[in-house]
Amino acid sequence: MPPTYAGEYPDSASKVSIVVISRNEGEELAATVNNLRETLPPSRRELIVVDDGSTDGSAGFLDGAVDVMLLRSEQLGVAKARNFGASRATGEIILFADAHIRAPQGWFDPLVEALREPSVGAVSPGVYSLTEPRRRGFGLDLIGAELHARWRNRQGSVPYPVPVLPGAFLAMRRTTFLATGGYDSGLHQLGGNDNELSCRFWLLGYRLLVVPQVEVGHLFRAAPPYPTNWSAVVHNRLRMAFIHFGAERVERVLRALRVYESFPAGAAMLLDTDVFSRRTQMAEIRQFDDDWFFQNFQLEC
């Protein structure tokens, strides 16, 4: 039970299982896969692509590929698709990557090294925009009771803790994934997956580090390939609050989200789910509460 930090710890020979989830990515998927092939030696990598209900044939080039495990699913959504891919991983490290990234040469050693510290649950590099390279972020903050995520500026040259890690390029030990269950499969579509995972890891006693000496390019789009709607976003934020927050903070989140037209639909999505049993489970195993989390990072909610 977390945080025992059991298991083997990675070293310079550790294999990295890269889980790429994709939906209607067009040429970006091939560019991402080729980038990962070029920047991680074959002896160190296991490439897993989850094609989550694409209709554009973008994963067709992987049919018959001997160095990529292609899994097909039917619109599982971000959390379930990541967990599905990770369930097939065999490497000591699992790295979750979007299907529209560009990683630099040598990216893996600093990330693996940061994961050698037993208390570190997950790590991410800095992220920059492929279309606006000056636009950079190094981890994220949670802002206000609406639980918006906002990019942080760089604060150092060696790995340091941040409240939220971006899922665009996020690595953890496979033992950590197995101990925590990875992403919350109760979340829908896009929105809030990284916030919930990060908050949960901190409450369980794991530390999250950004590794600023590595920066990965990411294609930010006005309309993401995954379908999404505000009722799902509202649901995901409410689910995070109901599972992890105390009564007063839950009330603040409810007041903040009620302004959205999609609030009734999002709230209704919580019915007949495991949200309350999961809340009880978290209360029994966590090391810290939500007050500690928000105070530790001087966040307002």
Give residue-wise pLDDT tens across range 241-292: 999 999 999 999 999 999 999 999 999 999 989 999 999 999 999 999 999 9
Spell out the domain ranges in the chain.
16-218, 230-296
* Tokens linked to 159: 């790995």
Return the pLDDT at 184: 97
* Tokens linked to 169: 């390029």
3 state DSSP class of 275: helix
pLDDT tens digits, one per residue of 109-123: 999 999 999 999 999
* 200 within 8 A of 184, measured Cβ to Cβ: yes
Q: How many other CB atoms are there within 10 angstroms of residue 286's CB atom?
A: 19
User: How far, in Å, CA of 71 to CA of 2, rounded?
Assistant: 29
| DSSP state letter for 300 | -
Q: Higher model confidence: residue 49 or residue 77?
A: 49
Q: Is the pLDDT of residue 157 over 80?
A: yes
Q: Is the pLDDT of residue 2 over 60?
A: no
User: How far, in Å, CA of 207 to CA of 3, rounded?
Assistant: 10
Rounded to 5°, angle at Cα 254 from 253 and 256: 65
* 124 within 8 A of 136, measured Cβ to Cβ: no
* Tokens linked to 44: 């160190």
Q: Which of 190-199, 206-215, 289-298 has the lowest mean pLDDT?
A: 190-199
Closest residue by Cα to residue 301 from 248, 234, 242: 248
Return the pLDDT at 222: 77
* 135 within 8 A of 145, measured Cβ to Cβ: no
Q: Is the pLDDT of residue 5 over 60?
A: no
Encode 167-181: b = buried (16+ Cβ within 10 Å), e = exposed. Answer: bbbbbbbbbbbebbe
Domain 16-218 top-level CATH class: alpha beta
